[in-house]
Structure 1
Amino acid sequence: MSDTAILINTGVAVLAVVLLIVRFKLNPVVALVLGSAYLGLSTGLGVDGTVEAITGGFGDIMAEVGLLIAFGVLTGAILQEIGAIERLVATLLRVFGPKRMPYAMSVTIATALQSIYLDVLLVISAPLARNLAPRLGRLGTARMATALAIGLECGIVLMVPGVGTLALAGLLGVPLGRMLLFGLLLVVPTVIIAVAIMSFLFRKGWWDPAKDEGRIDAAGPAGDDATPGNPGPRGDAEPSPSAPDGASEQGRVAATATGTVVDPRPVRDPHHVKLIVLFAPLLGALLLIAAGAVLDITGFQNPVVDFLSQPVVALLAGMVGTSLVGRYTAGRRRVERAIATGFRESGQILILTAVGGSLAATIDKAGLGDILGHYFTAQTAAPLLMVWVIAAVLHIAVGSVTISAITAAGILAPIAPVIGLDPVLIALAAGAGSLFAVHVTSNTFWLLQSLMGQTTRGTLKSCSVGVSVASVVAILLILPLSLVV
């Protein structure tokens, strides 16, 4: 088959996936499988070759990141159940003060809290941010809403153990330690710069509280897309009753859909432990993964360190450690409830991620990598810009951060070995592009509107524009890396 025919059929397959999801409201998993099947059959792989590519890609990606995603989601569910998030926010406020809170909260959400399922993390943190907003002045709602949006969305696709990041790393064969180091190097300045730019715009009169702020609803209209990046219509979700754990010296805090209620009476838990102890297992796991990447670069080898720094071993240890801490502080039943919730939430993430691998494997078998390899070289910015643009366009159409990132990376993953471009750069570029234009098709958009007390106009500014600014900042930071990596 000619190169032109392969390019055309690939474009038709991607467009068909978008139309099936957007126009016909088909489940993204089914749409991706149908797109993969069409591409395989239309490019001459045959029935057997097409089925082999779909099932092989599915199995390969599950073997690569299936357990990692499961362990990450379970760890996050336990941390949410035992009230660690509320306590962390209270600590950040005490350490950084109200004025620096947008930066502190957005960076923390984008890095340390990415094991928390997105809509759970949003429902927990938004009421707390809403409560803090008045202390920042008339622009408090705008700044806190923007900080939440940027931190939440950037972390999903740029920082380990964000579910999108794990999927991209597995899809492109990027060692998780390397993904962690480069993601951390990128996400921190991206978040800080984007929040600073939006704060500057707000101070210049771009935010009108009379028109951009409104009442707080219990739930906003929910998007149709139920994916890891946009977990579906769960705007009426409420955080589980974890306030007593997070309330020690700060008093009893209850995060609800209508705000944060603070009981000033101190509550002493007989099993109260320091905040660092609650997060120590997860932070220890991430440090082990990062240490393995650093030692691999330096050439140091030690059997014990090599074993413990394996991502699946490190995250398993982190999950077990978090479970033990949770049982001590909250009891066995609450930890078991959190684990059951985590298993339910991880199912759709695992299936979607694996099906993204099926599409990428089919594209690879079709020979797209060899074709595109003739047009690009690793010394040019064109491949990374193309990844960013494809992911951005897909996100505008589909409204899912994770689907757009995985699809864009899958399309161009085959060219990485052909032109010598480091796969970690493709992963980061796909993640950055998928952040562009979070809008009304996203469940995150409506949750931020309702929980932060914004009008639709205000949410378009704080969420859509704010996250888009972060997307552009991220690709501008990634491009120079392609010259040295």
Structure 2
Amino acid sequence: MILLTILFCILLLVLLVSWLKVTPFVAFLIVSITAGLLLGIPLDKVTASVQKGLGDTLSSITIIICLGAMLGKLVAESGAAQKIAEVLVNAFGVKYIQWALLIVGFIIGIPLFYNTGFVLVVPLIFSVTYKYKLPAVYIGLPMLAALSVTHGFLPPHPSPTALVAIFHANMGTTLFYGLLLAIPAVILAGPVFALALKKIPSNPLDTFIAKEIPSDKLPGATNSFLTALLPVILIMATTVYLNLDTSKGQAHRLIAFIGDAPIVMLISLIIATFTLGVRQGKTLKHLGGIYGDAAKDISLILLIIAGSGAFKQVLTDSGITQTITMLFKSMNVQPLFLGWLIAAIIRISLGSATVAGLTAAGIISSMVTHDHSINPNLMVLAIGAGSLAFSHVNDGGFWLFKEYFNLSIKDTIKSWSVMETIVSVVGLGGVLVLNLIV
């Protein structure tokens, strides 16, 4: 009966979002309240449970996601992303231009949210394909695979960041494991898979040719690379130090403070404000406008994450989490695979990777809480990988790719949908391998 109730709630969420076109935040609220009532939470406590879930979820991730959005917007607006692309394309040459674009996509995909990154890199892809007369899908898909991987696997992107909070995982460790998984996923879903796509006809619209910033107005290469990668550098460096230093002294506590994800993002944004803003002649008022736009861009994503937190809290407060854990254990299914599978099913049904990952986390989080043999960092990545599976006609990313590259639906499925699925499956395989090692 419990599983049927959860299944009903998931189906209700799918119908509300995909059929009735209800905004995901409102859909999550409706589903959370419905679940609370069906699972026996008293009427006077259902709203309190929803509010607690909203507050607890946002309290742990809002700083990270908002500051990450501001940093990403500045990287794009300042021309740092264009400079990174310019340097790498010149370094790799035409023969290895795919690999150059892949690295560009990966680097700028770390601070940029997916839709922003897509709109930013696609004109670059088209400029290259027009200039060198190369097949657009063959050249562009590796770069977009890199964007997809960073979106699904790596903090400070919204879904991985929220999953880290839900499972009480370690941000630095998750980022390190995510980078390990990202390399084979990007290579196999990018340059290797793209070899089969050379003959897909694509005639991108002239509208999407890049409007480049003049070279003399761009920030320097070192400045661009270091600023874009600073959050990763700080998180990885502090994580390594804390693992090596077991003294727990003053220095240890200071590094732990600096390495805390919200502090990392604040430091990164302050430095970027100077290196990519003030130093490039931008006023603080202009930078404030950029940051304000970034906050607007991320507001709906924050609401979706908050709604998923309400759903998770209702499941917890209903007292069924231990029952769910025992039921899943009795299935004798590898927990990491189960997390991936639930996320993949919701993703295929619903389209949204963020909603799929967070909904799956709400269902399966009790397993990680009560079974200490499950590595929470790997569960974050397993669910993140599942949330990328088989993007198709119910996903906005599918239509972005189709329309920008001017493809048929059939060719979009053959290229984009398969690429996303390869990323998802390779991610799962990497998680299961890591589970045998760590």
Question: Same fold, TM exceeding 0.5?
Answer: yes
| Offset at residue 261 of structure 1 (A) | 5.6
Residue 305 of structure 2: which of 338, 353, 371 is its match?
353
Aligned partners of 1:37 and 1:134: how far apart in 2? 53
SS at the partner of 1:64?
helix
Aligned partners of 2:57 and 2:103: how far apart in 1? 29
Aligned partners of 1:127 and 1:25: how far apart in 2? 30
SS at the partner of 1:44?
coil
Residue 45 of structure 1: which of 41, 47, 58 is its match?
41
Q: Which residue of structure 1 aligns with residue 384 of structure 2?
A: 431
Q: Is 2:30 the partner of 1:84? A: no
Aligned pair in 2 of structure 1 residues 399, 124: CA closer, same or farther (>3 Å)? Answer: same
Letter paired with 1:258: F
Aligned partners of 1:392 and 1:187: how far apart in 2? 18
Q: Is 2:273 the partner of 1:327? A: no
Aligned pair in 2 of structure 1 residues 330, 116: CA closer, same or farther (>3 Å)? Answer: farther
Residue 417 of structure 2: which of 452, 461, 464 is its match?
464
Q: Is 2:370 the partner of 1:415? A: no
Aligned partners of 1:295 and 1:47: how far apart in 2? 49
| Offset at residue 53 of structure 1 (A) | 2.3
Aligned partners of 1:106 and 1:47: how far apart in 2? 52
Q: Which residue of structure 2 aligns with residue 291 of structure 1?
A: 237
Aligned partners of 1:137 and 1:403: how far apart in 2? 39
SS at the partner of 1:268?
helix
Aligned partners of 1:411 and 1:28: how far apart in 2? 17
CA deviation vs aligned residue, 1:31-66 (integer Å, no higher than 9, x gap): 111111111111112124322321111111111111
Q: Is 2:4 the partner of 1:15? A: no
Q: Which residue of structure 2 aligns with residue 223 of structure 1?
A: none
| Offset at residue 317 of structure 1 (A) | 0.6
Letter paired with 1:384: L
> Greater helix share, 1 or 2?
2
CA deviation vs aligned residue, 1:151-193 (integer Å, no higher than 9, x gap): 2222112012222211221222222112211111111221112
- Confirm or deny: 8 A CA contact 1:413 1:423 kept in the other structure: no
| Offset at residue 456 of structure 1 (A) | 2.9
Letter paired with 2:255: V
- Confirm or deny: 8 A CA contact 1:387 1:409 kept in the other structure: yes
Aligned pair in 2 of structure 1 residues 425, 458: CA closer, same or farther (>3 Å)? Answer: same
| Offset at residue 137 of structure 1 (A) | 6.4
Alignment of 1:159-308 (within 5 A): 159-202=154-197, 207-209=198-200, 212-216=201-205, 257-260=207-210, 267-269=215-217, 273-300=219-246, 301=248, 302-308=252-258
| Offset at residue 111 of structure 1 (A) | 4.7
Aligned partners of 2:45 and 2:84: how far apart in 1? 51
Q: Gaps spanning 5+ residues in structure 2: where?
A: none
Letter paired with 2:235: I
Aligned partners of 1:273 and 1:110: how far apart in 2? 19
Aligned pair in 2 of structure 1 residues 282, 85: CA closer, same or farther (>3 Å)? Answer: closer
Aligned partners of 2:100 and 2:323: how far apart in 1? 45
Residue 388 of structure 1: which of 315, 337, 340 is its match?
340
Identity over aligned residues, as a percent?
24
Alignment of 1:50-69 (within 5 A): 50-69=46-65
Q: Which segment drifts farther, 306-315 or 192-201?
A: 192-201
Aligned partners of 1:95 and 1:463: how far apart in 2? 28
Letter paired with 2:75: L
Aligned pair in 2 of structure 1 residues 293, 375: CA closer, same or farther (>3 Å)? Answer: farther
Aligned partners of 1:422 and 1:472: how far apart in 2? 19
Aligned pair in 2 of structure 1 residues 334, 275: CA closer, same or farther (>3 Å)? Answer: farther
| Offset at residue 116 of structure 1 (A) | 1.6
Aligned pair in 2 of structure 1 residues 277, 392: CA closer, same or farther (>3 Å)? Answer: same
SS at the partner of 1:15?
helix
Q: Gaps spanning 5+ residues in structure 1: where?
A: 218-256
Aligned pair in 2 of structure 1 residues 100, 357: CA closer, same or farther (>3 Å)? Answer: farther
SS at the partner of 1:99?
coil
Aligned partners of 1:455 and 1:259: how far apart in 2? 20
Aligned partners of 1:395 and 1:455: how far apart in 2? 22
Q: Which residue of structure 2 aligns with residue 399 of structure 1?
A: 351
4+ runs deviating over 4 angstroms: 134-138, 375-378
| Offset at residue 307 of structure 1 (A) | 1.6
| Offset at residue 386 of structure 1 (A) | 1.8
| Offset at residue 397 of structure 1 (A) | 1.7
Aligned pair in 2 of structure 1 residues 77, 97: CA closer, same or farther (>3 Å)? Answer: same
- Normalization by structure 2: what TM-score? 0.91
SS at the partner of 2:106?
helix
Q: Which residue of structure 2 aligns with residue 342 of structure 1?
A: 294
SS at the partner of 1:413?
helix
Aligned partners of 2:9 and 2:328: how far apart in 1? 22
Q: Is 2:435 the partner of 1:482? A: yes
Residues paired across the two proteins, number: 431
Q: Is 2:150 the partner of 1:155? A: yes
Instruction: Report the aligned-residue RMSD.
Output: 2.4
Aligned partners of 2:118 and 2:238: how far apart in 1? 31
Aligned partners of 1:107 and 1:381: how far apart in 2? 36
Aligned partners of 1:14 and 1:422: how far apart in 2? 25
Q: Which segment drifts farther, 164-173 or 80-89?
A: 164-173
Q: Which residue of structure 2 aligns with residue 365 of structure 1?
A: 317
Letter paired with 2:408: T
- Normalization by structure 1: what TM-score? 0.82
SS at the partner of 2:210?
strand
Aligned partners of 1:363 and 1:12: how far apart in 2? 14
Q: Which segment drifts farther, 416-425 or 31-40?
A: 416-425
- Confirm or deny: 8 A CA contact 2:340 2:383 kept in the other structure: yes
